[in-house]
Amino acid sequence: MVDRSRNLCAYLCILSRYDIPINQFEWLHSVKIGVSVYKIAGCFFCVDNFKRIYARALLASVSDGAGTPYVPIYAAYVGASSSQLGLLHSFLNLGTNVFQSIWGYLSDKKNTRVPFIIVGGVISSVIWLFIAMTNDPGMITLLVAVQSVFTAMAAPAFVGLIGDLVPASSRAIVSTSINLWTQAGSMFSTLFVGLSSLIGLPGFTVGFIIATVSGLLAAIVMIGFRSAQRRYTTPGRINIVSVTKHIVREGLFLRFCLVNAGFGFFMSIAWPVFTVTLARVAGLTFFEISILTVASGAAGILGLYLLSNATSRIGAAKTLMINRSSLAVLPIVYGLTPSFPFLLGVNILAGVNAALINTAVLLFLIEKTPMEERASFIAFYNLLAGSSYFAGSITGGVMLGVLESRMRQDIAILIVYIVSAVGRLGMGLIHAPILSQREAK
Higher-pLDDT residue of 353, 331: 331
pLDDT at residue 74 greater than cutoff 90: yes
**pLDDT tier at 175 (50, 70, 90 boundaries)?**
confident
Taking residues 245-270, report their average pLDDT: 84
DSSP characters for 368-437?
A: SS-GGGHHHHHHHHHHHHHHHHHHHHHHHHHHHHHHHTTS-HHHHHHHHHHHHHHHHHHHHHTHHHHHHH
List the beta strands (DSSP E) in 13-98: none
Q: How far apart are CA 66 and CA 229, in angstroms?
A: 35
Nearest to 125 by CA among 221, 237, 257, 47: 221
Task: Let me know: does 308 contact 256? Beta carbons within 8 Å.
Answer: no
pLDDT at residue 216 greater than cutoff 50: yes
Taking residues 364-384, report their average pLDDT: 73
> In the chain, what are the domains?
24-440 (1.20.1250.20)
pLDDT at residue 372 greater than cutoff 90: no
- Which segment of 14-18, 215-219, 298-302 scores lowest on mean pLDDT? 14-18
Specify the pTM.
0.78
Q: How far apart are CA 40 and CA 177, in angstroms?
A: 13
Q: How far apart are CA 441 and CA 219, in angstroms?
A: 40
Q: What's the confidence (pLDDT) of residue 40?
A: 39
pLDDT at residue 244 greater than cutoff 90: no
> Is the backbone of residue 315 left (phi > 0), alpha (psi -120 to 50) or beta?
left
Average confidence score pLDDT of the chain: 80
Q: Count other C-beta atoms under 10 Å from residue 134's C-beta.
A: 14
Any idea what the Cα angle at residue 424 is, between residues 418 and 425, rounded to 5°?
90
**pLDDT tier at 360 (50, 70, 90 boundaries)?**
low
HSE of 259, CA atoms in CB hemisphere, 13 A: 22
Task: Let me know: does 124 contact 147? Beta carbons within 8 Å.
Answer: yes
Q: What's the confidence (pLDDT) of residue 41?
A: 40
Q: What's the confidence (pLDDT) of residue 324?
A: 82
Q: What's the confidence (pLDDT) of residue 311?
A: 59
- Which segment of 155-159, 277-281, 385-389 scores lowest on mean pLDDT? 155-159
pLDDT at residue 157 greater than cutoff 70: yes
Question: In this predicted model, what pLDDT tens digit does every residue of 83-125 receive, in sequence order?
Answer: 999 999 988 877 667 777 788 778 877 778 889 999 999 999 9
Write out the H or E segment, with its range, that includes residue 316: helix 286-326
Q: How far apart are CA 204 and CA 74, in angstroms?
A: 7
Higher-pLDDT residue of 179, 81: 81
Residue type, 240: I
pLDDT at residue 362 greater than cutoff 80: no
Higher-pLDDT residue of 436, 389: 389
